[in-house]
Amino acid sequence: MTSVAVLCSGGDAPGMNAAVRSLVRNGLQQGYQMLGVEDGYAGLIKGRMVALNSLSVADILNRGGAFLGSARSPEFMTPQGLHAAVANCHKHHIDVLVVIGGDGSYRGAATLVEQGIKVIGLPGTIDNDIGCTDYTIGFDTAVNTAVEAIYRLRDTSSSHHRASVVEVMGRHAGYIALYAGIAAGADMILLPEQPVAAEAVASELLRHQRAGKDHQLIVVGEGWGNSEELAKYLHQTTGIRINHDVLGHIQRGGEPLPMDRIHASCMAQYAIQLIAAGKLNELVGWRAGEYMSVPIAVGSAEIKPIPASMVDLAQVLSH
């Protein structure tokens, strides 16, 4: 009997539970033994495995977070931690390990492949920054959460004729900022990939004010820089009253939207199909409307640039 284990790694993303549910039920359909690893790579190091069946994953489709637990594990990147993780894969007779996570999780998976462990990767990250796929599990829900929060904050800034500086998640990638900013009608969107001087932001803020806008919205991807310092600088430089808010981890939580549930379920099904076909050490993705996979060595090295057309659109719409 083929034994398939699944773990969630890194920051949790809405839809991870839907992916686990689909993996387990599709795996059982193939006759596989299904295991869950608790708390990501940290749990793999400690050998924390639980058997999963159809009832184990009942009623988790609409739950946020990761019911198996997720974690970032610096220990896993040490020789001792990696050795313990590999030893536990052998001890528990794991034939294939499915890793749900982002770029850091994929680098960890690639390290396991180098040690002879068979791996399949699923893109679970709200940042949508995995190069080998157009879409990552959790992105749609995170953007919707950000847009809803931004609109609530904008109501207040509009009432008091202020500008709002709202920081969203995205330490190295500006996808949430870009999509949420466009959807919320932002006047400026600041992205980690495109450094912009605070002086230029202040100049643009004044230009909007002269054009007759009595309230403005600036959406900042967290990797752009210190949004709190920016808000202080803008107030001191322009005299405009500024509201500053950091959305933080609310973007990770909450019930996953249908799009994330569907993509997660389909990607997990595709992963089981890859295992059944003996096509291992692959990363599952979604490109041009189709589910596909690429070798882990290729996919984990791909960089996903911000689409220039979307940036151009945001600039046009802000005028």
C-alpha span between 174 and 198 (Å, rounded): 17
Mention every residue, 6+ apart, whose C-beta is less than 8 A from residue 18: 60, 61, 137, 256, 260, 261, 264, 265, 268
Per-residue tokens: 236: 């001191």
DSSP secondary structure of 98-139? EEEE-HHHHHHHHHHHHTT--EEEEEB-TT---TT-S--BTH
DSSP summary character for residue 256 = P
Separation between Cα atoms, residue 222 and residue 167, nearest integer Å: 6
- Active-site residue among 127, 129, 140, 260? 127
Cβ 243 vs Cβ 164: under 8 Å:
yes
Q: How many CB atoms lie within 10 A of CB 171?
A: 13
3-state helix, strand, coil in the chain (%, to 5): 45, 20, 35
Extended beta strands in 199-272, E state: 216-221, 242-246
φ/ψ (deg, to 5) at 268 = -65, -40
Is residue 143 helix, strand or coil?
Answer: helix
* Active-site annotation holds for 127: yes
Q: Rounded CA gap, 86 and 91, in Å?
A: 9
- Cα distance between residue 71 and residue 68, in whole Å: 10
DSSP 223: G
Catalytic positions, written as ranges: 127
